[in-house]
Each structure stands twice: as structure tokens, then as C-alpha cells.
Amino acid sequence: MSNPVQPASSGDAATQVLAQWAEVCSALAKAADKAGRTGEPITCVAVTKTHSIGRIQPVLEQGHRIFGENRVQEAQTKWPGLKAKWADIELHLIGPLQTNKAREAVALFDVIETVDREKLARKLRDEMDKQGRALPVYLQINTGEEPQKAGVAPRDADAFVRLCRDELKLDVRGLMAIPPADEEPSLHFALLRKIARRNDLSVLSMGMSSDFEIAVTFGATHIRVGTAIFGERETPAQ
Ligand SMILES: *Cc1c(COP(=O)(O)O)cnc(C)c1O
């Protein structure tokens, strides 16, 4: 086999990851109940950046299938082997994508959450056509208008949806945002929901380890949780 998958790590690390994963699942269900969203599907994208296959495999063995990585290169070292073993894995790209990595990203990922500029949208259109892969995409909105952060400004969001969905015919399912670290996230979640509603988009990818329960009250359909499941990251991720 060209992509050998390491055996599941036995012992402490795996047990701890599974316990934390179960806790996140139950906190998610509780938050959904509290928000009056009992039984609605809310997807937990398990964010595995920096974490080894030994930590990822235990949750795969328990049936979790939806994962997020923020770097194409790192994902390429971990996921081809895992996807060969579990065919129904759904891998989300949640980090910034350079156009020169679009080809690899379209080949490996199943959802691109971070479409954030016209040049990238056009490049993805080309690559999907070339590879015959029509991936669902989310558009990243910079709700806090932070200069260092990716994403289109809220005032440009409607035009960007029109470009990506109506002109380029990308399969735009929804929106994604990362609120400023030092602000109350609710306002940002509410803003993202408002932009999604007026554009008739159903997916809202928002909420991370520290604020996913709040995101659920604001209508998140996808939360992206790393630390609360896998523990502190093993190396700094950007
Ligand atoms: C790392 C990351 C997450 C997960 O963050 P945690 O705080 O570890 O849950 C979510 N979304 C994006 C875009 C990330 O890069």
C-alpha cells in the first residue's frame, strides 16, 4: 500500500480524545435543545490541524467523518491514506487558499470553506472544470473587517455571492466567518446569519471551541472545533 495508515494509538491520548469528542457532541446537542433546534442537523467539523493520525484515527473508528484542515500541504501528508481507508470522509479546507495551491486543494478536499476573493473563485472554477469535481464551497466573510484577516467585507458580500453563485456557477452552499478574537462573537454570528438569509444561503459555518454553543443559538449549521476535541495543538498553527 502506498499510503500506509498508522495503527490507532492505544492508551491515554486516544482515550482522552474520545472522551473530549463525546463531551463536545453532548454539549452540541444540549446547545441545540436550548436554542429550540432539537434534532436539526448541526455538523461538527473536527479540526485536526497540527494533530497526528494517531489522534485522528480514534474518532474515525467511532464513526466521525467530517474534518477540517487549514493547510493544503499538511492535509496532503495526512488525509490521502485515511481517505483510502474510510471512503466517506468529508474533508473541509478552513484556512486561506493561495491560487497556486488550488489544484491540489480541489483534488484532496471535499468542501472549500474559505473562498474569499474573485481571483480564487475564478481559479477554483477552472480547476473544478479541469478535474471534473464540483465541490461545495462556502464564502468567507470578514465580519470584523480586520485588515489581517481573510474574507470579503460585509458590504461586498452580496456582490461576491452573485459573482460566485450566479456568474461562476460555483456550488455556493453558505458562509463562513472567524470573529475577532477579542470581541463578543454574537454580533458577528448575527451579522453572518443576516447576510446568509438575504442571499438565500443555508449553511452557516461559525463557532469554534470557545464559542460554538453561542454560534448554535445564532443558527450555526456547522461548527469547527479543534482544541476541545484534540487538546492543545502540537505545533503553532500560523
Ligand atoms: C483552528 C481553527 C478552528 C478551531 O479552533 P479551536 O479553537 O481549536 O476549536 C476553527 N476554525 C478555523 C478557521 C481554524 O483555523
Q: Over the range 134-143, which residues count as b (16 or more CB within 10 Å of their CB) and which as e?
A: ebbbbbbbbb
Determine the distance separating the centroid of ligand 1 and the alpha carbon of 1, expressed in angstroms.
32
> Which pLDDT score is estimated for 236?
58
Q: What is the mean pLDDT of residues 95-116?
A: 98
Mean pLDDT for the chain overall: 94
Q: Measured from the CA of 233, which atom of ligand 1 is nearest?
A: 8
Determine the distance separating the centroid of ligand 1 and the alpha carbon of 10, expressed in angstroms.
26
Q: Identify the band that residue 12 occupies on the pLDDT scale cut at 50, 70 and 90.
A: confident
Phi, psi dihedral angles at 56 (to 5 degrees): -80, -40
Task: Of 48, 40, 43, give the one whose Cα is nearest residue 17.
Answer: 48
- 220 has pLDDT over 50: yes
> Which pLDDT score is estimated for 39?
87
Greatest Cα pair distance in the chain: 52
Distance CA 109, CA 151 (A): 19
Task: Provide the 3-class DSSP secondary structure of residue 217.
Answer: helix
pTM: 0.94
pLDDT tens for 25-61 read 999 999 999 999 998 999 999 999 999 999 999 999 9
Look at the block and give the residue holding cell 491540489: 104
Q: What are the pocket residues of ligand 1 if the criterion is a CB atom closer than 6 Å to any ligand atom?
A: 47, 49, 70, 94-95, 178, 208-210, 224-228
Mutation test of ligand 1: which of 208, 225, 235 has the most ligand atoms closer than 8 Å to its C-beta? 208
Q: What is the mean pLDDT of residues 233-237?
A: 67
